[in-house]
């Protein structure tokens, strides 16, 4: 219980710290998850007035809108200067596992459209090698079993996130025990399987900066 409270405190700390990267009157990309929710709440309470946000999920759109922050479609904007998002795991090379909340595809799209991706995490997310957190993969529903078999052949143990449908109308496989020592190669291999929409590895396009909320304060690398 105390550990959860401390993690929540660190999420709020890093959510507030992310305000330092936001410029007034800009259009920013906003990720998904409880850490990003802390950032959205801090932004709404701050004096920073952004022009609008591009959202990575229906949940984030709802929260932004509730705070009176305008949400625009990515197709209405050019590239964005800044994308703020959390992660489930990050390594020392700023490579990430994302998708615990199931928003990985839109997150990868908005990250890809952004010149700077600032990833905000609490210290529990930092790992030496990615892969303790099961890797989320968004799949077209009709391909679920076929993709699962290919993932077994790659050494993983896929588990269908039953009852969950993504904002894009697809399903998620959470893959345990994959060898992610070379996450760039594995990201390409998985994305090449027909029926995979995207996988939650952000290694080919890692974060540009990771900001960590830790018990000794804010760290970044």
In the set 13, 22, 30, 32, which binds ligand 5RP (CB under 6 A)? 32
Catalytic pick among 16, 107, 138, 187? 107
Which CB atom, from 99 or from 131, has the smaller least distance to ligand 5RP? 99
Which CB atom, from 24 or from 132, has the smaller least distance to ligand 5RP? 132
In the set 104, 139, 178, 210, which binds ligand 5RP (CB under 6 A)? 104
CB of 122 to ligand 5RP, least distance (A): 8
Cα dist. 157→67, 93, 105, 136, 189 in Å? 40, 25, 21, 12, 16
Q: Is residue 100 a contact residue for ligand 5RP (CB under 6 A)?
A: yes
CB of 124 to ligand 5RP, least distance (A): 9
In the set 26, 34, 188, 214, which binds ligand 5RP (CB under 6 A)? 34
Q: Is residue 15 a contact residue for ligand 5RP (CB under 6 A)?
A: no
- Binding part of the chain for ligand 5RP, among 28-36, 66-74, 139-147, 155-163 by CB under 6 A, reads 28-36
CB of 153 to ligand 5RP, least distance (A): 26
What would the 3-class secondary structure string for the chain be? CHHHHHHHHHHHHHHHHHHHHCCCCCEEEECCCHHHHHHHHHHHHCCCCCCEEEECCHHHHHHHHHCCCCECCHHHCCCEEEEEECCCEECCCCCEECCCCCCHHHHHHHHHCEEEEEEEEEHHHECCCCCCCCEEEEECHHHHHHHHHHHHHCCCEEEECCCCCCCCCCEEEEEECCCCCCHHHHHHHHHCCCCEEEECEECCCCCCEEEEEECCEEEEC
In the set 13, 14, 30, 33, which binds ligand 5RP (CB under 6 A)? 33
Q: Is residue 99 a contact residue for ligand 5RP (CB under 6 A)?
A: yes
- Binding part of the chain for ligand 5RP, among 19-27, 81-89, 139-147, 167-175 by CB under 6 A, reads 81-89
Is 159 known to be catalytic?
Answer: no
Q: Which residues contact 202 (CB under 8 A, 6 or more apart)?
A: 87, 95, 96, 97, 98, 108, 111, 187
Catalytic positions are 107
Q: Residues in the site for ligand 5RP, rule: CB under 6 A?
A: 31-35, 85-88, 98-104, 107
């Amino acid at each position: 219980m105390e550990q959860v409270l401390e993690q929540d405190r660190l999420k709020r700390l890093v959510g507030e710290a992310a305000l330092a990267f936001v410029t007034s009157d800009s259009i920013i990309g906003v990720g998904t998850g409880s850490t990003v929710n802390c950032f959205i709440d801090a932004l709404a309470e701050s004096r920073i007035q952004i022009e609008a946000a591009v959202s990575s999920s229906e949940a984030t759109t709802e929260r932004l809108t509730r705070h009176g922050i305008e949400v625009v479609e990515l197709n209405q904007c050019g590239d964005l200067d800044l994308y703020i998002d959390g992660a489930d795991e990050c390594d020392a090379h700023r490579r990430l596992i994302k998708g615990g909340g199931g928003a990985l595809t839109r997150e990868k799209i908005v990250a890809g459209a952004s010149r700077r991706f600032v990833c905000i995490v609490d210290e529990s997310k930092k790992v030496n090698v990615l892969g303790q957190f099961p890797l989320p993969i968004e799949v077209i529903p009709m391909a679920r079993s076929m993709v699962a078999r290919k993932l077994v052949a790659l050494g993983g143990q896929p588990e269908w996130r039953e009852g969950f449908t993504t904002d894009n109308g697809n399903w998620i496989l959470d893959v345990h025990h994959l060898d992610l020592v070379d996450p760039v190669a594995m990201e390409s291999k998985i994305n090449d399987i027909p029926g995979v929409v995207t996988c939650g590895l952000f290694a080919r396009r890692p974060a540009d900066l990771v900001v960590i909320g830790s018990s000794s304060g804010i760290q970044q690398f």
